[in-house]
């Protein structure tokens, strides 16, 4: 079976790109796991935080915003975003750490300093004595990740694209302008390989004889615990702690929390670490009025970065017809609409999409050969 594009990995990145490509050619989306979204995509905090990440990531987030606000007709029956707002807290003595965030304040970018009393009204489970200064971002929102992913999968099918699951690509061979991909049950041929394999993208590159881009998967652990009896926390903002990257947010009437850990690990079906969970529960009790009696749910996921913490999107510079869509780090859900469209344009040798160029982004900013510092030790 021969296709124009074979996309490796049915996380959100690969699915969005496959869907966008399916308007322009035949597409096969291949997923190693039994269902799409099993790895990073299914384990995120589901937040649209437009001011997080590198300046490039923030610009891509802004480019994605229009899609989230107004998805194409028929894409989904559910709103993709629900405004929640975000609060960033600095402990007493660490107020200066909020300066970088406050510097982003500009027309169209809602970032406001607020006093401790207002912060407590917004997030009544905080401890007053732990608040030195606070910043409010009304534009932070919850993303309906399942609706977004299902929308792309449905649209992919409607456009004639094909998804196969439970088939890990184990060999890639390029001859006569065609790639041949081996999976346990078949061989597929395609003109272009789109490598959206998340934490495994350097492994997939190795199968094709392509030099790695230095991806480092980093584990992040999260828990869900009961809320505070008698306090309605459902409409609370998400709360970040600027000194540590730790955060919590409501999950229905319970609370999801993470220390913002980022331990480098090998690509794998990552599981939460018991020690990390204990430290996280202890932190939550120190920073809030919550008393953690039991952990309702815990999980870990991989956020995968290159050394400059920005995504890599574009053809490889040495091996023809091998396209990278990788290194989405901790922002791959919110960047997916803009990067899916960008990948579909660049993988067809078209110019970068207007939504990204109007944010000041050039295709060279996204490619693997941009200047990147060596990986941090
Ligand atoms: C705890 C946590 C919180 C996060 N919070 C947010 C957030 O609030 N907002 C946000 O925007 N982002 C967030 N992220 C980041 C986001 O989840 C990721 O950036 C995004 O999901 C990456 O999607 P992906 O499709 O690139 O990777 P993945 O979802 O990992 O998909 C890659 C797929 O490739 C498949 N694959 C690998 N090798 C092969 C092969 N050889 N053959 C076939 N298939 C293969 C894998 O099975 C996998 O399904 C968070 C991540 C974590 C872990």
Cβ of residue 169 lying under 6 Å from some atom of ligand 1: yes
CA of 11 to the centre of ligand 1 (A): 5
- Distance, in Å, from the CA atom of 288 to the CA atom of 65, rounded to the nearest integer, reads 32
Cβ of residue 9 lying under 6 Å from some atom of ligand 1: yes
CATH architecture classification, 86-138+216-305:
2-Layer Sandwich (3.30)
Cβ of residue 330 lying under 6 Å from some atom of ligand 1: yes
Q: Are 283 and 274 in contact (CB under 8 A)?
A: no
CA of 299 to the centre of ligand 1 (A): 14
Q: Are 146 and 134 in contact (CB under 8 A)?
A: no
Cβ of residue 149 lying under 6 Å from some atom of ligand 1: no
Q: CATH 3.50.50.60: which residues of the chain?
A: 2-72+144-215+308-366
> What are 100-148's pLDDT values in tens digits?
888 877 766 789 999 999 999 999 999 999 999 999 999 999 999 999 9
Quick one: angle between helices 332-346 and 12-21, nearest 10? 30
- For a mutational test of ligand 1's pocket, the pick from 139, 198, 273, i.e. the residue with the most ligand atoms closer than 8 A to its C-beta, is 198
Give the ligand 1 atom nearest the CA of 219: 53
> What are 142-183's pLDDT values in tens digits?
999 999 999 999 999 999 999 999 999 999 999 999 999 999
**Tens-of-pLDDT digits for all 377 residues of the chain?**
899 999 999 999 999 999 999 999 999 999 999 999 999 999 999 999 999 999 999 999 999 999 999 999 999 999 999 999 999 999 999 999 998 888 877 766 789 999 999 999 999 999 999 999 999 999 999 999 999 999 999 999 999 999 999 999 999 999 999 999 999 989 999 999 999 999 999 999 999 999 999 999 999 999 999 999 999 999 999 999 998 889 999 999 999 999 999 999 999 999 999 999 999 999 999 999 999 999 999 999 999 999 999 999 999 999 999 999 999 999 999 999 999 999 999 999 999 999 999 999 999 999 999 988 876 54
Residue corresponding to tokens 């660049």:
346
CA of 197 to the centre of ligand 1 (A): 8
For 86, the token pair is: 């975000």
For 8, the token pair is: 């490796």
> How far are the Cα atoms of 12, 30, 204, 211 from residue 42, in angstroms, in the given order?
9, 17, 21, 28
- Distance, in Å, from the CA atom of 368 to the CA atom of 377, rounded to the nearest integer, reads 20
What does pTM read for this prediction? 0.97
Cβ of residue 249 lying under 6 Å from some atom of ligand 1: no
Q: Which CATH superfamily is domain 2-72+144-215+308-366 in?
A: FAD/NAD(P)-binding domain (3.50.50.60)
User: Closest by alpha carbon to 171, among 214, 200, 205, 213?
Assistant: 205
Give the residue, by CA position, lying nearest to ligand 1 atom 4. 44
Write out the E strands in the chain: 2-8, 27-30, 47-48, 81-83, 86-90, 112-114, 133-137, 141-143, 162-164, 171-175, 178-183, 186-195, 216-226, 238-241, 247-251, 254-258, 263-264, 295-305, 312-315, 322-326
User: Closest by alpha carbon to 197, among 188, 187, 206?
Assistant: 206
> What are 61-86's pLDDT values in tens digits?
999 999 999 999 999 999 999 999 99
Q: CATH 3.30.9.10: which residues of the chain?
A: 86-138+216-305
Cβ of residue 197 lying under 6 Å from some atom of ligand 1: yes
């Amino acid at each position: 079976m021969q296709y124009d594009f074979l996309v490796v990995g049915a996380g959100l990145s690969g699915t969005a790109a496959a869907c966008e490509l399916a308007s322009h050619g035949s597409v096969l989306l291949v997923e190693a796991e039994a269902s799409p979204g099993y790895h990073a995509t299914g384990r995120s905090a589901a937040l649209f935080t437009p001011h997080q990440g590198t300046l490039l990531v923030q610009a891509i987030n802004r480019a994605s915003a229009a899609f989230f606000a107004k998805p194409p007709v028929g894409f989904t029956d559910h709103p993709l975003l629900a405004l929640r707002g975000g609060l960033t807290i600095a402990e007493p003595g660490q107020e200066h750490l909020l300066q970088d965030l406050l510097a982003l304040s500009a027309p169209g970018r809602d970032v406001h300093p607020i006093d401790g009393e207002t912060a407590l009204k917004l997030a009544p489970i905080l401890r007053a004595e732990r608040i030195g200064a606070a910043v409010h971002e009304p534009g932070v929102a919850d993303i309906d990740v399942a609706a977004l992913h299902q929308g792309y999968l449905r649209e992919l099918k409607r456009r004639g694209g094909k998804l196969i699951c439970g088939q890990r690509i184990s060999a890639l061979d390029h001859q006569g302008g065609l790639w041949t991909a081996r999976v346990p049950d078949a061989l597929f041929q395609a003109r272009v390989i789109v490598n959206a394999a998340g934490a495994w993208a350097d492994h997939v590159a190795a199968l094709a004889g392509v030099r790695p881009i230095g991806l480092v998967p980093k584990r992040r652990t999260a828990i869900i615990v009961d809320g505070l009896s008698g306090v309605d926390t459902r409409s609370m903002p998400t709360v970040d702690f600027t000194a540590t990257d730790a955060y919590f947010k409501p999950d229905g009437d319970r609370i999801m929390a993470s220390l913002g850990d980022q331990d480098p690990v090998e690509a794998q079906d990552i599981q939460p670490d018991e020690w990390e969970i204990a430290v996280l529960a202890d932190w939550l009790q120190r920073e809030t009025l919550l008393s953690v009696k039991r952990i309702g749910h815990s999980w870990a996921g991989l956020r995968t970065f290159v050394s400059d913490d920005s995504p890599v999107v574009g053809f490889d510079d040495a091996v023809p017809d091998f396209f990278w869509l990788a290194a989405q780090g901790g922002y791959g859900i919110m960047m997916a609409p803009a990067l899916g469209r960008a990948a579909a344009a660049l993988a067809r040798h078209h110019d970068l999409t207007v939504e990204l160029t109007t944010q000041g982004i050039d295709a060279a900013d996204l490619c693997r050969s941009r200047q990147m510092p060596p990986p941090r030790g």
